[in-house]
Amino acid sequence: MPSPDAISEPKSRPLDLAAIAIAGVLASGFLGATTNAVNGLVSPRYFVTVLGWRGGTDVWRAAIAQGIFEGLLFGGFFALIFATTVGIVTRAACPFSFAFPHLLGVLAGAYVCWAFGGLAGVGLAALSPEFYQRTFFGAPAETGPLLRYAWVGGSIWGAEFGGLLSVLLGLVILRSNWRRRMRNVAGASA
């Protein structure tokens, strides 16, 4: 029969933590690809202007590639925060199957923030087009292109800052759920 300490202290799962980190990076690359697939359709002009691309480039495909690249960069940073904190909170005992739904929640939160950021950008450009044009590099003067440009800029900021916020919120929820899980395990073994 196992000792009470063995029951209350789950075993370390370093490979699960590594898998969580890898999944976080891949999820961020997926987020970047899918959001820039939309953004590249909404305003190719944004990418041509801000990134200095030539107009003859296949802007849509290049925007997706840029989204993957930036998503993987941000994802590396966010995944490091997520996996390290999961390791600390769970004493490296978190199974992948427990952390993965929380990671999906973080991803969903980042998509919500992407959309909210895009809407905020459009709202700001609609409310004060002159301010938007003075403040943001290369913003077009025509209303339709300006609003599309503002969507892309706002949505990118929304995904980046919202992604960090989603990671932090996801970790708070994971910690709460982990504590509940450990109380249930301790109660079941008593």
Distance separating alpha carbons of residues 92 and 78, to the nearest angstrom: 18
Go through the chain and tell me how many residues it has.
190
Q: Let me know if residue 61 belongs to a domain.
A: yes
**What tens-digit pLDDT sequence spans the chain (190 residues)?**
444 444 456 788 899 999 999 999 999 999 999 999 999 999 999 999 999 987 667 999 999 999 999 999 999 999 999 999 999 999 999 999 999 999 999 999 999 999 999 999 999 999 999 999 999 999 999 999 999 999 999 999 999 999 999 999 999 999 999 999 999 988 887 6
Q: Let me know if residue 128 belongs to a domain.
A: yes
Q: Let me know if residue 2 belongs to a domain.
A: no
Look at residue 4 in the predicted model and tell me its pLDDT: 44
Model-wide pTM > 0.85? yes
Q: Let me know if residue 3 belongs to a domain.
A: no
Looking at the 3D structure of the chain, how many domains does it have? 1
Look at residue 55 in the predicted model and tell me its pLDDT: 63
Look at residue 6 in the predicted model and tell me its pLDDT: 45
H or E element that contains 153? helix 143-189
Q: Which domain holds residue 91?
A: 11-189
Q: Let me know if residue 1 belongs to a domain.
A: no
Q: Let me know if residue 178 belongs to a domain.
A: yes
Work out the end-to-end distance of the chain between its first and last CA atoms, rounded to an integer number of angstroms: 13
Q: Let me know if residue 167 belongs to a domain.
A: yes
Q: Let me know if residue 5 belongs to a domain.
A: no
- Contact call for residues 40 and 60 (beta carbons, < 8 A): yes
Look at residue 187 in the predicted model and tell me its pLDDT: 81
